[in-house]
Structure 1
Amino acid sequence: MVGLDARSLDLQFRRYRRQFVRPLQTAHGPWRDRQGLIVQLQTSAVDDDQARAYGEIAPIPWFGTETLEEAIAFLTQLQSEPAILTLADLSAIVEAAPSHYSATRFGLGMAISQLQGNFPPETTEPAPQQICALLPAGSAALEAWPKLWDQGHRTFKWKIAMADLAQEFSELEALRRSLPPQAQLRLDANGGLSIEAVKQCLRRCDALASQGLPIEFLEQPLPPAQFDDLLKLSQTYRTPLALDESVTGLAQLVDCHRRGWRGIFVVKGAIAGNPLAVLDFCQRHRLDVVFSSVFETAVGRWGVMAMAAALADSGQSGLDQSGLDQSRLGQSRLDRAGPGSRALGFGVQHWLRPDGLDSHPNHQAHDQAHDQANNPTSNSHPQQAEEALWQQLWNG
């Protein structure tokens, strides 16, 4: 029988565009829609045995990734290769891709890992209390958090560095005091503050902490180029700092750790690079990691959730980069993490208009298979769900 790595591959991709309910205000300006690609890998059939897997490529160029056009050109080139593409070939090509093609590395790496059996067919969706919900900027957060609290969220994220500093400090204090004392609040500046502004912010945060109203952490207050200042500030104040834009991909993650960062790393898994390599580094060095969303579809979300589950599975000291122990990863559950674990940065789905892209095609197929098993007269077929989502992207 032909080994899996030697089988020929069919690579297809579809483009998507998701609309935000309202533009997301960031330090980089308003973000109106989310665009990306869903990749499908399918092996050639041998003795009626054929495998299919999905990945997502969702670049954010202002975070240092490739552009969407560059990702499309990369995939188009793969499709035009005259030689037969195998799984082994594709793995080598992805490994050799430019380091800033981190979204492409993730999307293809995720699909390859599924075909190799390194990710389980499903992962457990965490409960709302394990998900950090993103609040709207400014005073609108005061009206938004109660509904999210009622849904079960206990950790919230609020964007700063988008208005007058004194106004934001006033709104911050009002927001923190309005939240229940047991709530966690994260601040995200997207690298938009000056050093003096960061010091003022940290003094305010430390003052709140002294009153029993701590800020969980201040995320990326300075641009990545000011790493030395970030490192010094992290050692000066009580309120923790976290890196985000500084660690866009695995190369940056490795570099910041090498240069002495031992604080929190906010890792946007879907643009961090090959998922197995990222997991290997995080586990070997026991990093304090918060996996975060980049407004991906369910395909990318599933992949990052699987990464988070693996990292939350305490007692494991590292991962072999050649492949995860699937029995271990398949048993990992995000709700097994201890009381000190941090909420995942995935409470963002309420920011996107409903579009049918929040259900993974493999999960749809699984659900339809379950329905059909319990209702033999049903005319539905598992593959229909996959093809329906795929056709939706094709027509879009």
Structure 2
Amino acid sequence: MNHYWFEYRPYDRPFKQPLHTHHGWWSNRQGIILRLTSANGQVGWGEIAPIAWFGTETLAQALAFCRSLPSKLAAAAIEHIPASLPACRFGFESALEMMQISTTSITFASPSPHQLGAVHNSYLLPTGEAALHAWQPLVTAGVNTFKWKIGVANLEDELQIFNHLMQKLPADVRLRLDANGGLDYYQAYQWLQTCDRLSGHTATVEFLEQPLSKHQLKEMLQLAERVQTPIALDESVATFEQLEACYTQGWRGMFVIKPALIGSPQQLRNFCQQYCLDLVWSSALETPIAQYFIQHVLIPSIPVVQHRAIGFGVDQWFNDAWTTEGNFEQLWQSLSLTGTIE
């Protein structure tokens, strides 16, 4: 039986400015970096990046799970991580997969948007009126897909800002609206009707993401039949079990997948190989460790139904240099055993 030496270090990563969503203000991204070492010295890096209000375990539960494990860990222990700990399951399974990749020469230096082919990346705009100007330097750099959070202020005020934003954005830009489940049925219909009216006259609204609560799948199915603007599920499919349930209940629209929250990468692969899903890949504001696995290992291994921009344009939200310099080992060394950034 395979065994691995197991180490972990928490991190606490402040945003440049708090991120405002329907769930409230978010000022710090917290999680856990994992390191597994095999008997022959191979190292696998992983990350546990839970978001409790999104449907995963809490950070405290993830830390308690890590503390409960021995320093010499059997592979079977990873295989039996419960579904109630999806972020832990992702972190450990991705670390095992990363063990097959030599990471010593990999750095986190982020290419410019032109080098990335920025058309393939979606960038998160600030909420409210700040979005009216924040898009401009990114479009100049070649970006053409943005996400904008809604459902955080008065409906009429947000619709007014939205109309101004759509008039300002270039015609070839695509905008994703994300309500984080914060609208009621009437508000969602108002948003979708507004998007339908603007269709063909301004920049394109690619979809409205999670307009209603994750408990209102039936209502979202009804909404999708009443309008032209597509609806995408996000919080409704945060974990693999939820994804499976929504598909079983008839959802055939877009699925926004945050791999760091979904649970087992292999379960996701198997499901996507069996069914043709219209996937939109999205960041959970994880560190470059999870981002590397998601973008370079997981996404290329899953069939593509339709090419869509991936939602990993989030580096500009952080104060640190984790994404522009260093590598896996240097990031690890920058964390103390208690998880503070030195």
TM-score, normalised to structure 1's length? 0.79
- Contact 2:172 2:204 survives alignment (8 Å): no
**1:354 aligns to what?**
320
Q: Which residue of 2 aligns with 1:100?
A: 84
1:85-234 to 2 correspondences below 5 Å: 85-87=73-75, 89-94=76-81, 97=82, 99-115=83-99, 117=100, 126-211=116-201, 213-234=203-224
Indicate yes or no: 2:331 matched with 1:389: yes
Q: 1:271 is matched with which residue? A: 261
CA distance in 1, matches of 2:324, 2:280: 21
Following the alignment from structure 1 to structure 2, what is the Cα–Cα distance between the partners of residues 292 and 44? 35
Instruction: Name the stretch that deviates more: 254-263 or 148-157.
Output: 148-157
Report which of the two has the higher share of helix.
Answer: 1
Check conservation: 1:214, 1:239, Cα contact below 8 A: no
Larger radius of gyration: 1
Give 2:232's aligned amino acid.
Answer: A
For 1:307, the equivalent position in structure 2 comes to 298
Alignment correspondent of 2:287: 297
| 3-state SS in 1 of match to 2:20 | strand
1:58 aligned to which of 34, 39, 49:
49
Cα root mean square deviation, aligned: 2.1
Partner AA of 1:71 in structure 2: A
Structure showing greater relative contact order (alpha-carbon pairs closer than 8 Å, 6 or more residues apart): 2
Inter-partner Cα distance in structure 1 for 2:238 and 2:165: 29
1:323-360 CA-partner distances (Å, limit 9, x unpaired): xxxxxxxxxxxxxxxxx511001111101112436667
Q: CA deviation at 1:242?
A: 0.3
Residue 114 of structure 1, CA deviation: 2.4
**Which is worse superposed, 51-60 or 272-281?**
272-281
1:278 shift after superposition:
1.0
- Give how far 1:312 is off: 5.6
Give the 3 Å change call, closer, same or farther, for CA 44–201 of structure 1 in structure 2.
same
Deviation at 1:171? 0.9
Instruction: Count matched residues.
Output: 329
Q: Secondary structure at the match of 1:300?
A: helix
Q: Tell me which amino acid in the other structure corresponds to 1:238.
A: Q
C-alpha offsets along residues 299-323 of structure 1, whole Å, 9 cap, x if unaligned? 0111211322223667xxxxxxxxx
Residue 51 of structure 1 aligns with an amino acid whose one-letter code is: Q
Deviation at 1:113, TM superposition (A): 1.9
Amino acid in structure 1 at the alignment position of 2:92: L
Q: Do the aligned partners of residues 312 and 343 (structure 1) sit closer, same or farther apart at CA in structure 2, a change above 3 Å counting? A: farther
Residue 256 to residue 308, structure 1, CA distance change in 2 (3 Å): same
Alpha-carbon distance in structure 2 between the residues aligned to 1:244 and 1:299: 23
The one-letter amino acid paired with 1:31 is W
State the identity %. Answer: 39
Correspondence list, 1:1-16, <5 A? 6-16=1-11
Greater strand percent: which structure?
2
Which residue number corresponds to residue 262 of structure 1? Answer: 252
Per-residue CA distance 1:68-110 (angstroms, 9 max, x = gap): 1111111111126xxx5332x233332xx1x231100100010
Alpha-carbon deviation of 1:212?
Answer: 5.2
1:27–1:189: 8 Å Cα contact kept in structure 2? yes
The residue identity in structure 1 corresponding to 2:10 is: R
SS at match of 2:250: coil
Q: CA 1:282 to 1:341, structure 2 compared with 1: closer, same or farther past 3 Å?
A: same
Taking the aligned partners of 1:143 and 1:79, their CA distance within structure 2 comes to 51
- The runs of 5 or more residues in structure 1 that have no matched partner are 1-5, 315-339, 363-385
Given candidates 13, 19, 27, the residue that maps to 2:14 is 19
Q: Is the 8 A contact 1:20 1:352 kept in 2?
A: yes
Partners of 2:23 and 2:70 lie apart in 1 by: 34
Find the residue that maps to 1:277 and give its secondary structure: helix
Indicate conservation of the 8 Å contact 2:239/2:261, yes or no. Answer: yes
**Structure 2 residue ranges without an equivalent (≥5):** none
